[in-house]
Chains A and B, each alone.
Chain A
């Protein structure tokens, strides 16, 4: 069981499945704020290659809500990830 409570000025970022394999961790805290649309770029600087190899097939949630960042008119294009938020990288799922 892992609980993540970000320190002041940070948000929590959770990794699952292939994303946690690439980063070699389940979770970390990252300084806030970050524009949601720039999150993958921020992560690619920390983990070179992750954007193309993993993130391109992943979804993102912020506080348990999926964010829509695809295309010029994406609903969450202006969303900013704030201090204390819980963000997760969601690879393609495989239950059952």
Chain B
């Protein structure tokens, strides 16, 4: 197995952000700014703010994970995140919602996803935040590559929780790392 550490993709020239009133969704190659995520959700109309941080874990099925890399089909994932945010905002009558997911290499212990929601009262905020995370994991077009001790890389699949597909031998992974943008 000769899966090498993927190189950092070139940061995109334009921000990967979609916004509309009360909604903010973003993909970024930079470390997540959790204070900014909370600040975006806060409002004088909201008595409750719930923040979820997903951090990268150092094991999968008790095997040591050396590193993780996220890949995305950016324009499609942004549309999906916007659609999820609209749905959650409406279903739970939230005041606002912010979903940010990191791409590229994410060191162990750092945040890969930050979701903040606010609502007039706590029940809606708890439930809306949880549902936003579950829908994102189920639908957003983002893929996680876990690299295990020995250099083996595995693409995870949230749907079934199994190991996913083992990366082939001797491939030129560096060239294939990163994300796609539509050409305007």
- Which residues does A use to contact B, with CB under 8 Å? 1-5, 14, 16-18, 20-22, 24-27, 54, 61, 64, 86, 88, 90-96
User: Do residues B168 and A24 form an inter-chain contact, with CB atoms below 8 A?
Assistant: yes
The answer to whether B141 touches A21, judged by C-beta atoms less than 8 angstroms apart, is: no
10 smallest CB-CB distances across A and B, nearest first, come from: A95-B142, A92-B157, A17-B143, A18-B165, A94-B156, A94-B144, A96-B137, A3-B183, A17-B155, A95-B140
**B144 touching A95, Cβ below 8 Å:** yes
The chain B residue with its CB closest to the CB of A26 is B176
Q: Is the CB of B180 within 8 A of A14?
A: yes
Interface size on B, residues (CB 8 A): 45
Taken together as a complex, chains A and B put the C-alpha atoms of A21 and B171 apart, in Å, by: 8
Extra inter-chain contacts (8) besides given A26-B178, A64-B76, CB under 8 Å = A2-B178, A2-B180, A4-B183, A16-B143, A17-B71, A21-B171, A91-B157, A96-B136
Confirm or deny: B42 has a beta carbon within 8 angstroms of a beta carbon on chain A.
no
Q: Given A3-B183, A17-B155, A21-B167, verify A95-B10 contact (CB < 8 Å).
A: no
Residues of chain A contacted by B101 (CB below 8 angstroms): 95
B31 within 8 A of A: no
A1 touches B157 (CB 8 A): no
Q: Which positions in B face A, CB cutoff 8 Å?
A: 9-10, 12-13, 54, 70-71, 73, 75-76, 79, 101, 112-113, 133, 136-145, 155-160, 164-165, 167-168, 171-172, 175-176, 178-183
Asked if A93 contacts B140 (CB within 8 A), the reply is: yes
Q: Are B181 and A3 in contact (CB under 8 A)?
A: yes
Residues of chain A lying within 8 A (CB to CB) of residue B139: 93
How long is the Cα–Cα vector from A91 to B73 in the complex, in angstroms?
11
**Chain B residues, Cβ within 8 Å of A64:** 75-76, 79, 182
Say whether B157 contacts A95, CB under 8 Å: no
Q: 7 A-B pairs, CB-CB below 8 angstroms? A: A16-B143, A24-B168, A93-B157, A94-B157, A94-B158, A95-B101, A95-B136
A1 engages B10 (CB within 8 Å): yes
Contacting pair A90 B73 (CB below 8 A): yes
Q: Would A1 and B9 count as touching, CB distance under 8 A? A: yes
A14 to B142, CA, bound (A): 14
Given the interface contacts A16-B73, A17-B155, A64-B79, does A93 sit within 8 Å of B141 by beta carbon? Answer: yes
